[in-house]
Structure 1
Amino acid sequence: QAEANRQQNEADLQRRHEQQLFAAQDEGARKALAEEEERKRKFEQDYPRTEYQKQAMEDHPNRAQVMLCGNAGTSKSTLINLLMMVVSHLYALARGGSTVARVAVSALGECTERPTVYTFAEDSPLFHLAIMIATPGAGTLLVPEDTYPRMIGIRYATIVLLVVAERLRAIDHKIYKECLDRRVPVLVVRSKMDNAVENAIDDAEDEGQEPPTAEQTYEAARANVISKAANPPAESGVPSIQIPPERIYLTSRKYVKEIHDVADFRVRDFYRLFQDISAAVANDVSRDARRMVA
């Protein structure tokens, strides 16, 4: 009987110890959660979400936000339409179809003046996972460069596509640096590469030189982005940025629509961009959103 009582007492002590341990862990977890909520509250107070982002979260809950930004005239909306078209086309082919699903657009204002939210076609697997946001071009009266990153709410994007044209401008440096500071993944998209190829040929002919091949023009464009980012003019006052080569994507609307071989160097970066965006979205979406797709 004494042995039985001893064992029972030890069991009771062990149980009470475990209960106290769980209670302490519970309290620690609650405290950590409260501290995290307070940190978020203070951050959002100092760096509030934009009204369009609040509306987008309400209209499209549990979706990752793929934000396109950059200077005016860099073909941000064109890039969105290309990505939407490819997603719909690939999904239609996977289902044995041959038609391209239409892209739905949920406009919160004119794209040139205010951000526009794009949603994927409803029968696409990405419909429940992500939205794409085309922001107005920087450097206009409505969107001054000094306040651009904060005005469009870069901090709250899942991933940022920084779309640039022939050369990087001061605002491109600011956007890239803001993304790094806020730990937002950023991919640099050099648009209008078909124009770059044609211009390189014209320039060479004007100078009486042998025109470069399209592939040489592509590699020169990639090297130019890296060089200009790392060595901005001293008078510009913008920070030097180091862009990894694999985070630069050379794209062309014309080539994507005309060339169907995804291994062709003229469209290879575009499909690599699509894959990297998909990976970022997959890592960000909530479990609820995943269940909706399943």
Structure 2
Amino acid sequence: MGTIISAILQAIRSSNVGVSPTMSSISQHHRRMETPKNEAHRRAEVLEREKKGKADKAAKEKEAALKAIHRTNKLLEEAKANEKVMEEMMEAQKAVEAKWRKGVHPVEWPSREQYDMVKQRLYQDGKFHLAIAGKSGTGKSSLINAFRGIWDEDEGSAATDVVESTTIVTPYPDPNPANPFIWFDIPGSGTINCPDWTYFNDQGLYIFDAIIVLLGDRFTDGDLAILKNCKRYSIPTYIVRSKSDRHIDELIKKKKRRAGLQSYHEEIVDAARQEYLDKTKKTVQDNLLKTDPPLPPQRVYAVSRDILTSVVQANPLGHDAVVLDEYELLKDMLHDAYSRRSEKSWRVVQDLIKRAGIEVLRYLSPTTEPRSRRGDTFLA
């Protein structure tokens, strides 16, 4: 599996990163919205020229001037009537917006100003923008450090010993300059003074190539808002349960107490691992079905920070290391990033995999990793 990821990563490094399809769609939307404005401006200029011509003619002939004055007065009356109509329309719009904020949530596109500001602040051409979202305490900073292949105490790591209070998106570049990745810490919606349904656009989450939704014990409204909006913008999402090793350790302790001294450690570890994965999967699917409308089923990745960091660093894992979904998460993220943005065809990656002696169909199919993996290389 490490050879696979290395092949994908090699293809990403040698490929020119294309334009984000989401940002291209937003730009096209803005161009469509500007066309009616340009037409209205042109028509206004035509009316102004006609009015000037009538005024010039009125200055030359008294009779024509009287008619022009009458015509001008009529136009003024129509303008006042139109102004009143516009005021009524604005009041109606304000009333509708107030209703929306109370519970009826519209489909929103970011404004031109929002789009340009977020792009200038966060977007870098030629880079993949990968975000991690979740409420405070779910382990976002540690997971960002793990994806970057550094430990929490290393220089340049995301701070993990502070209570989240930031209200802005924070970027963390990949420490390996050969990797075209920027990792972003997204503040939880609970730290932002805005409705959950405006949170996605207000934070500019539409610029990201993929978003990891890091779960605590349950979904928050902010988590669900991210999943819904990513589906609308066709942005890949990955539901991740971090700190999984801690939860599995607790299950192992309980099972050992019940089984007594005659139990086999390996069997207990395997049973605890499977029980945790099954419960986590069921919890996620139940929460997705409870949304209105229900969100489609989606895979959940259970990971451990220490295992993920070691995998990214290409360090060998110990015999007792409990490997969960760390390899699959990295593989799926790199595959989706390459397919979404790289200018080279995915067929190029398939050829690389074949040359590495691995069948493409076997690579793309789900696999169950052994508990211990040694010597695999990923982002290092």
TM-score, structure 2 as length reference: 0.49
Residues 1:154 and 2:154 are matched in the alignment? no
SS at 1:231 equivalent: helix
Which of residues 80, 90, 97 in structure 1 aligns to 2:144? 80
SS at 1:223 equivalent: helix
CA contact (8 A) 2:147 2:309 kept: no
CA contact (8 A) 1:73 1:137 kept: no
**In structure 2, C-alpha distance between the alignment counterparts of 1:216 and 1:169, rounded to whole Å:** 29
SS at 1:61 equivalent: coil
Residue-by-residue CA offset, 1:216-263 (whole Å, 9 max, x unaligned): 3333333334323332399x765533334xx32211123445783399
Which residue does 2:281 correspond to in 1?
Answer: 226
**In structure 1, C-alpha distance between the alignment counterparts of 2:271 and 2:305, rounded to whole Å:** 19
Gaps of 5+ in 2: 1-24, 34-108, 261-266, 345-380
CA contact (8 A) 1:168 1:228 kept: no
The code of the aligned residue for 1:228 comes to T
Taking the TM superposition and a 5 Å limit, the aligned residue runs for 1:149-188 are 149-188=200-239
The code of the aligned residue for 2:306 comes to K
Q: Which has the higher contact order (CA 8 A, sep 6+)?
A: 2
Using the TM superposition, give the Cα deviation of residue 204 of structure 1 relative to its aligned residue in structure 2, in angstroms: 5.2
CA contact (8 A) 1:72 1:137 kept: yes
Which residue does 2:328 correspond to in 1?
Answer: 272
CA contact (8 A) 2:118 2:204 kept: no
TM-score, structure 1 as length reference: 0.61
Gaps of 5+ in 1: 1-34, 89-100, 289-294
Which residue does 1:191 correspond to in 2?
Answer: 242
Root mean square deviation, CA, Å: 3.9
**In structure 1, C-alpha distance between the alignment counterparts of 2:288 and 2:331, rounded to whole Å:** 34
The code of the aligned residue for 1:216 comes to A
**In structure 2, C-alpha distance between the alignment counterparts of 1:281 and 1:226, rounded to whole Å:** 24
Identity value in percent: 19
Larger radius of gyration: 2
Taking the TM superposition and a 5 Å limit, the aligned residue runs for 1:1-294 are 38-41=28-31, 42=33, 43-45=109-111, 48-49=114-115, 51-57=117-123, 60-85=124-149, 112-113=165-166, 114-121=168-175, 123-126=176-179, 129-142=180-193, 145-202=196-253, 209-210=258-259, 213-232=268-287, 239-244=293-298, 247-256=299-308, 260-261=316-317, 266-285=322-341
Which residue does 1:27 correspond to in 2?
Answer: none
CA contact (8 A) 2:227 2:237 kept: yes
**In structure 2, C-alpha distance between the alignment counterparts of 1:262 and 1:268, rounded to whole Å:** 14
**In structure 1, C-alpha distance between the alignment counterparts of 2:291 and 2:338, rounded to whole Å:** 37
Which residue does 1:95 correspond to in 2?
Answer: none
Distance 1:168 1:221, change over 3 A: farther
Distance 1:54 1:225, change over 3 A: farther
Using the TM superposition, give the Cα deviation of residue 281 of structure 1 relative to its aligned residue in structure 2, in angstroms: 2.7
Aligned residues, how many?
227
